Structure 1
Amino acid sequence: MSFQTGLSGLNASSRNLDVIGNNIANANTIGMKSSRVEYADIVASSLGTAGGGGGGIGVSVATVSQQFSQGSINITGNDLDVAINGGGFFQLTLPDGSSSYTRDGQFKLDKSGNIITNAGAKVLGYKIDATGNPIVGAKPTPLQLPTAAPIAASATTSITAEFNLDARANLAAGVPAVPFSAGPPIVAAVAAIPATPRTTYGTSLTTFDSQGATVPVSLYFERVASTTTDNWDVFDSASGGTALFQMQFDANGTLTSPLPGAAALTLNIATPSAVTPNISATLDISKVTQYGSAFAVSNLAQDGYASGDLVGVKIGENGVITASYSNGQKQAAGQVALADFRNVQGLVPTGGGTWAATSASGDAVDGSPGLGKFGSLRSGALEESNVDLTAELVNMMTAQRAYQANAQTIKTQDQAMTTLVNLR
């Protein structure tokens, strides 16, 4: 029996050294989770009177348990590197079509725009609706970015203008001279005020037609006479001598007409091409003021843009992928999906930093980063292995001594057997 007991100890210690060696070898493997050997004793069974029982006859390896503790987050600066800070696994579809799960976020883009792992597995996520939000109830599908073709152009539909008109400005039509009169009554001479050129108070911006071609637009403002309010006529570069509309200000320099929230002002901008329709854009001037300071434009914006190519990708803490384009636009392109399990210890390692679900782990539960038990994502970072190298080296020395001690029990038993055999 002693030989078998020592042999079981040698086998268990050897298995422990294998696991420790694997942990040490993967100390720098991204997303790697360490393992440990868990032992169970072997007890001999015997029939006998009450109180009788068998003695121990060695040890066995009950299981090799994976340790799914959080690894350190290491900043890399690569936008496609993603770390999970908390629970959950990235969902993958392997090249053979099977499902897999990983904590390794070293992602890449292939020639078709798919987000993939180093092994070529496709990363799964949720599609985005027209408002930029993940589609509720949708199942995860392979994430793909539009790298093959530029995004389509968008015609200008809205223009926002914020500026101050000088309350000290002269009337656009000017004021005629007043000659001196000896009276009675005496009238002092007043020099004429010349007309103000229309281009004195003006600004311009670039809009876009439906094909993304640029269409310049210039707006001009002329102060006109009024006995009740301060009025300014608004012209554009194509209106000629006809005002588009008139702005009115009260004594405090606040815009009173058109009132914010009233029927939207609309500019009809002619395009240079007969193929593309004219640009019809609303004009928001609700923040225009008239104060006693120089004319100044503080904001002039429009929502159109030309076509653009993909130049960068950023993944947020909630997993939403924001694609940046050469035309300055940013659009949500999807959301990384996570999965979790009722029993993560039941997952089976399949190599390459991936795990497969089993009946012991239960089915994967889909979720979004940052919601419920799912951790948030860290873009530009990776989760390092959770292997404690110092602890593993200590464990290795302990396992080595256990191996040597079990070998010594076999050696001692052999000496005892030799002594018995040589008895006379």
Structure 2
Amino acid sequence: MSFQQGLSGLNGAAKSLDTIGNNVANASTVGFKQSQAQFADMYANSMNRSGNSPVGIGVAVANVQQAFTQGNVTTTNNPLDIAINGDGFFRMQGSLTDASPLYGRNGQFQLDKNGYIINPSERGAYLTGWPGTVNGGDPVPLQIDTSNIPAVSTTGVKTKLNLDSRPPTVPVVTPFSATNTASYSGSTGVTVYDSLGNTYNVQTYYVKNTVTSTATDTQWDVYATVDGAPYPAFVAPATQAPIGALHFNSSGVLVPATSVIPPLTLTPKLGASFTGPIAMDYTGTTQTGAAFAPVAQSQDGMSPGVLSSFAIGKDGKIIGSYSNGQTKTLGQVLLVNFANPNGLQPLGNNLYTAGPDAGQPLVGVPTTGQFGLLQARAVEDSNVDLTSELVNMIVAQRIYQANSQTIKVQDSVLQTLVSLR
């Protein structure tokens, strides 16, 4: 007669209650994965090797296994909160000098004083990925680059518009004057930039030239001002000269061979420069029996840009938005997956390390292959089902009580045996 079976049952039930209690305690822990105690029966080997005893000697805890199932995704207001929807783990490292990888599903991240993305645990693990526009190589701690985008000098302006072919074809007032709207048929304006991001307002004006126009070739003279001053500059009493001319055939299509608009040579402000003359491109401009209308206009320069915000896409790309309207890729968040996630060893603080049973880590980009997608401004909730855990708790309590009864009966039988005379 033995107390072994009942004692092992008590230990097993206590271990099960410990596991359930840990699940319940972490029901609100972001990224937590519930665990389940798994048991195995025990038999004593026979000394004469004829087989095991048919009567077992109790139960043992074979394993405490975590269930890496998807938790619910809850939205937040933190732009650095990231939820994984699907397979994969965030890859982190404990410090800038210790590259030993750590893994987790808790996507509650924040920036440290140096701009590195870290998780909020006591260890402050660094989120890793590819920096900037790098696409490949070993993952490194991700740092948000807050430096400004430098200015870019304008080298070309593209203008597409429609010129009205209908009468009246001649401006009411001649010669052309930028200050008199009756001396031209329409105008467009564009802001260009020098090497320091200084702005220059280039305004162009369009006047139909009836002297040189024919039935098959219509000429429009183009005039310009820069910051309100005539371009090119002239001395009164001379009149302002056009910077070039646009020619159209009888179908209203621009004739590139005869349409000549020389590049603009602007005088930069003190300390600045231009890469070169600014080319004027009117490809796509038409002349039809419709009102004058700008269709599209663009230029290839820009002012300096200050990082105003950044966002993380579902593919893990960190995209920065700048005050000049430009965007820039600041980094790439990567995910890691394992052939056997249950081989991960929990370290606490929602972090794991890869044990020998996990298999080789597979690193990849979110949304590709077997990796899930990322959802910014969201976190993955714990996958603990409280209702199920409370029912399991009742069952474990009953098992504990039942095993205590077997010990009580064993004790009663032993007392009876000892009392025999």
Q: Same fold (TM over 0.5)?
A: yes
Equivalent residues in 2 for 1:176-187, closer than 5 Å: none
Cross-structure match for 2:348 = 351
Q: Does 2:202 correspond to 1:217?
A: yes
Asked if 1 retains the 8 angstrom alpha-carbon contact of 2:245 and 2:260, the reply is no
- Give, in angstroms, the shift of residue 270 of structure 1: 3.1
Percent identity, please: 43
1:193-251 CA deviation, whole Å, 9 max, x = no partner?
xx985554112121221111112111122212311222222232223544333323334
1:321-362 CA deviation, whole Å, 9 max, x = no partner?
101122222111111111111221111111111111122213
Instruction: Call closer, same or farther: CA 1:330–1:229 in 2, change over 3 Å.
Output: same
Asked if 1 retains the 8 angstrom alpha-carbon contact of 2:195 and 2:272, the reply is no
Asked if 1 retains the 8 angstrom alpha-carbon contact of 2:334 and 2:365, the reply is yes
Cross-structure match for 1:415 = 412
Cross-structure match for 1:232 = 220
Q: Does 2:118 correspond to 1:116?
A: yes
Where structure 2 has 5 or more consecutive residues not aligned to the other structure, the ranges are: 175-179, 226-230, 234-239
What root-mean-square deviation, in Å, do the aligned CA atoms of Structure 1 and Structure 2 show?
2.7
Instruction: Call closer, same or farther: CA 1:169–1:267 in 2, change over 3 Å.
Output: farther
Instruction: Call closer, same or farther: CA 1:158–1:403 in 2, change over 3 Å.
Output: farther
Equivalent residues in 2 for 1:116-135, closer than 5 Å: 116-119=118-121, 120-129=124-133, 134-135=134-135
Query: Which deviates more from structure 2 when the two are superposed, residues 274-283 or residues 59-68?
Result: 274-283
2:158 to 154, 157, 160: 160
TM-score (norm 1): 0.86
Q: Does 2:393 correspond to 1:396?
A: yes
Asked if 2 retains the 8 angstrom alpha-carbon contact of 1:341 and 1:363, the reply is yes
Q: Which amino acid in structure 2 is aligned with residue 102 of structure 1? A: G
Aligned length: 398
| Separation of aligned partners in 2, 1:413 and 1:338 | 55
Equivalent residues in 2 for 1:24-39, closer than 5 Å: 24-39=24-39
Q: Does 2:339 correspond to 1:342?
A: yes
Asked if 1 retains the 8 angstrom alpha-carbon contact of 2:312 and 2:376, the reply is yes
Query: Which deviates more from structure 2 when the two are superposed, residues 292-301 or residues 332-341?
Result: 292-301
| Separation of aligned partners in 2, 1:46 and 1:207 | 93
Equivalent residues in 2 for 1:14-413, closer than 5 Å: 14-47=14-47, 53-95=53-95, 97=98, 98-119=100-121, 120-129=124-133, 134-135=134-135, 137-147=136-146, 149-168=147-166, 170-172=168-170, 197-198=182-183, 200-225=185-210, 226-227=213-214, 228-237=216-225, 238-239=231-232, 241-257=240-256, 266-273=263-270, 275-277=272-274, 280-413=277-410
Q: Which amino acid in structure 2 is aligned with residue 124 of structure 1? A: T
| Separation of aligned partners in 1, 2:260 and 2:111 | 47
Query: Which deviates more from structure 2 when the two are superposed, residues 44-53 or residues 204-213?
Result: 44-53
SS of the counterpart of 1:253? Answer: coil
Q: Which amino acid in structure 1 is aligned with residue 298 of structure 2? A: A
| Separation of aligned partners in 2, 1:77 and 1:200 | 52
- Give, in angstroms, the shift of residue 253 of structure 1: 3.0
Instruction: Call closer, same or farther: CA 1:263–1:59 in 2, change over 3 Å.
Output: farther
Instruction: Call closer, same or farther: CA 1:270–1:221 in 2, change over 3 Å.
Output: farther
Where structure 1 has 5 or more consecutive residues not aligned to the other structure, the ranges are: 177-194
| Separation of aligned partners in 2, 1:200 and 1:229 | 18
1:143-200 CA deviation, whole Å, 9 max, x = no partner?
11222x4332222234332322222254457799xxxxxxxxxxxxxxxxxx985554
SS of the counterpart of 1:56? Answer: coil
Cross-structure match for 1:183 = none
